[in-house]
Amino acid sequence: MQNDHRVYEKAFKIEAVRLVQTSGKSISQVAKDLGIPDSNLCRWCQDHEERGEQAFVGSGHQTAQEEEIRHLKRELDLVRKAA
């Protein structure tokens, strides 16, 4: 079975979101025009709305807040195991 997972560049995602915001077209139409799943574009629009410039950090690249949460969860897990 093939893995059809595609990776899109941050600039492409930003441009796709900009097209949704400025073209007057629906998310579905912009996605169709770009040849991408509309679920991806919908998710990108939500991420961009919620995180602005912090959106689309990429695989393995966490925001400072995400890194802190990961660190605190790891620390809590260690404390629970020691108790």
Average pLDDT for residues 27-53, to the nearest whole number? 94
Average pLDDT for residues 47-68, to the nearest whole number? 78
With b for 16 or more beta-carbon neighbours within 10 A and e for fewer, the 7-40 pattern comes to eeeeeebeebbebbeeeeeebeebbeebebeeeb
CATH number for region 10-82: 1.10.10.10
Averaged pLDDT of the chain: 87
2-14 pLDDT per residue, tens: 556 788 888 999 9
> DSSP characters for 8-76?
--HHHHHHHHHHHHHH---HHHHHHHHTS-HHHHHHHHHHHHHHGGGS---TT---HHHHHHHHHHHHH
What residue segments make up the domains of the chain, in order of their start? 10-82
